[in-house]
Amino acid sequence: MKILVVGGGGREHAIIKSLKKNKLIETVYALPGNGGISSDAICVDIGAKDIDGIVNFATENMVDYAVVAPDDPLVLGAVDALEAQGIPCFGPNKAAAIIEGSKAFAKELMKKHSIPTARYETFDNLDDALKYLEEITYPTVIKADGLALGKGVIIAGNKAEAETALKSMMTDKIFGESGSRVIIEEFLEGPEVSVLAFTDGHTVVPMISSMDHKRACDNDEGLNTGGMGTVAPNPYYTEKIQEICMKEIFIPTVEAMKSDGRVFKGCLYFGLMITNDGPKVIEYNCRFGDPETQVVLPLLKTDLFTVMQAVTEERLVDLNVEFSSDSACCVIMASKGYPEKYDKGYKITIPKHLKDNVYVAGAQRCGEDLLTAGGRVLGVVATADNLEDAIKQSYSFVEEISFDNAYYRHDIGKRALARLKKGE
């Protein structure tokens, strides 16, 4: 079989490595992939947002199945366009991807179906939004409605900061058209948990939970990033919390989408906060998380392609999806300066024995060499039968990998480990 994977980051590398365990899969194309992915797939220089290019490539090369991984092509309707040509896909269609594409849609859905989330108001007009700032307490959270590369959230400590944030989004358009409409929502407190779930629109199968580390520096200091590391499972996500989530959040969300005529098929990402009032939804994503996928898929015992096909064919109910009881840790090695300015083009050295522990996010091949080409360069992953060993192991692998200006956090999993020890 020939499979096409749209995207080119660490998440896509993890998906491709998992897919290749299935012997039915002979060829994997990555559009566009990256220099590291090129060791595992045929990379084709077609951008993830080039829907016509993707569809033409898929039909010309008689691709049997497509996995659309990033948010942009999903929201732009890549799945609809591929399916129109008879190519089965993993990923939601455009109508369902709106759950991530519009935060206002997601909030409205939750309100209508009583799914627990932060209280909020939506505004299309700056004056109304500014007036609303008089009525609320601080800190408050201001979010651009549309996709903003994961950056469209500003936490404002007081009214003046909130005014500045609103003006920068709605007037100065720092997040482009994404900020024409904004949401102002209640500030929630508590540990965050990411839960990715397979769903075919009827059945929902949560994967193992994980914890992202979004800030650039140790002790959760510095700027927000795309994620500097992850661990799985997340110790804050107890069995009791899982039961509540299933009953109050996961099943109601899938049912709500179905009743709205937007059957969601693919991976639905629940960004949760475990508050004193119970778990609440911070955000939905219509796709696998990055770098959550890098710790979740190595713990999936059932064959990934088998699960994906069951999702596409809406027969997930018949499949027993199993996860290992091990733990996993992913440490992201980035280029110094990320998420702001950083240099590119440094040679990356990865010992051969670590090939299966590295998911490359931002690198380009230059002859035999692999050179840095992005802010987040690669993720280093280890699994073990306990979290402490998984963390130790991934950091010992990090020590063996080198490139100039490499930067990584030293405390990935520290909070999770402290929580586990407290619970013992």
* 240 half-sphere exposure, CB direction, 13 A CA radius: 3
With contacts defined by CB under 6 A, name the span among 179-187, 232-240, 369-377, 396-404 that binds ligand AMP: 179-187
**Nearest distance in Å: CB 192, ligand AMP:** 6
Number of Cβ within a 10 Å radius of residue 44? 15
Give the span between the Cα atoms of 241 and 278, in whole angstroms: 8
Question: Contacting ligand GLY (CB under 6 A), which of 47, 150, 190, 278?
Answer: 150
CB of 150 to ligand GLY, least distance (A): 5
- Does 150 sit near ligand AMP (CB under 6 A)? yes
Q: Measured between alpha carbons, how far is residue 202 from residues 279, 311, 314 in Å? A: 22, 10, 8
Which residues make beta-bridge pairs with 364?
A: 371
Is 375 an interacting residue with respect to ligand GLY (CB under 6 A)? no
Q: Which residues, numbered 105-124, are part of the site for ligand AMP (CB under 6 A)?
A: 118
Binding residues among 203-242 for ligand AMP as defined by CB under 6 A: 214
283 binds ligand AMP (CB under 6 A): yes
Shortest CB 269 distance to ligand GLY, Å: 7
17 vs 21: CA distance, rounded Å: 7
310-314-320 Cα angle (round to 5): 45
Please identify, using beta-carbon distances, which residue of 270 and 403 lies nearer to ligand AMP: 270
Q: What is the amino acid identity at position 102?
A: S
DSSP string across 387-420: HHHHHHHHHHHHHH-B-TTEE--S-TTHHHHHHH
Does residue 50 touch ligand AMP according to CB under 6 A? no
Of 225 and 309, the one with the shorter C-beta distance to ligand GLY is 225
User: Least distance (Å) from ligand GLY to the CB of residue 291?
Assistant: 6
Q: Which of the stretches 44-52, 138-146, 234-242, 287-295 binds ligand GLY when contact is defined by CB under 6 A?
A: 287-295
Scanning 70-78, 186-194, 234-242, 407-415 for contacts with ligand AMP by CB under 6 A, the matching segment is 186-194
CB 316 within 8 A of CB 126: no
100 lies in the binding site for ligand GLY (CB under 6 A): no
DSSP for 339-391, please give it: TS-----PBPB--GGGGGGEEESSEEEETTEEEE-SSEEEEEEEEESSHHHHH
Instruction: Count other Cβ atoms within 10 Å, centred on residue 192.
Output: 16
Q: Which member of 12, 72, 292, 326 binds ligand GLY (CB under 6 A)?
A: 292
- Is residue 290 a contact point for ligand GLY (CB under 6 A)? yes
Q: How many chain residues are in contact with ligand GLY, going by CB under 6 A? A: 7
Is residue 67 a contact partner of residue 293, using CB atoms and an 8 Å limit? no
Query: Minimum distance from CB of 280 to ligand AMP (Å)?
Result: 8
Give me 260's structure tokens. Answer: 């709205």
Site string for ligand GLY, 207-246 (x = CB under 6 A): -----x--------------x-------------------
H or E stretch at 277: none
Q: How far apart are CA 313 and CA 317, in angstroms?
A: 11
Structure token pair of residue 93:
């269609």
Interface residues toward ligand AMP, by CB under 6 A: 118, 141, 150, 153, 185-188, 192, 214, 271, 282-283
Interface residues toward ligand GLY, by CB under 6 A: 150, 212, 227, 285, 289-290, 292
